[in-house]
Homo-oligomer: A and B are copies of this chain.
Amino acid sequence: MTEGNITDVRSFNRFYTQIIGLLDKHILNSQYSLLEVRILYELYHREGTSASEIMLSLNIDKGNLSRVLRYFEKKKLLTKKRSINDGRSAYLHLTVAGKKEFEALNDASSRQIKEILKNLSTADCDRLIQYMAGIKIILSNVG
């Protein structure tokens, strides 16, 4: 890692921060906040998970998480079922409506990416995917 390399990494970080900001802004036009969408994502992909698991995986405050979950419950997107093993904890399940809601957001997100990338050549597209996968692999080993 030379000084030049560090500069390049940081330049990429600034660049990609912008990209992500752009994508996030899109989500914020939905009726959900960024936090809510991230939590919904976890709920969808970890059927039956618990609040503390989400808390750890997203690194968010448990107080705020608790309130978002309560809000989802009120909107009938989520049901809680007290754990048999541990009376303090609850299994979290999206309702059918909750899953639909997530899928709608998810589709909108995918469409947005597709729209942004629609003009890429096949070669560029392949390279993009390859580079992203490469970065993920390389950086997965440093954390």
Contact = CB atoms under 8 A, between A and B. Distances in A.
Interface stretch (A15-23, A75-83, A85-93, A94-102): A15-23
Nearest to A24: B17
Tallying the copies of this chain within the complex gives: 2
B116 A15 contact: no
A64 to B, nearest CB: 15
A9 interface: yes
Given A5-B129, A20-B17, A138 B120 contact: yes
A133 interface: yes
Nearest to A133: B8
**Chain A: number of interface residues, binned into ranges:** 35 or more
Contacts of A67: none
A124 interface: yes
B8 A129 contact: yes
A56 interface: no
A131 interface: yes
A132 interface: yes
Interface in A95-143: 109-110, 113-114, 116-120, 124-125, 127-136, 138-139, 141-143
Nearest to A135: B131
A95 B116 CA distance: 41
A33 interface: no
B125 A5 contact: yes
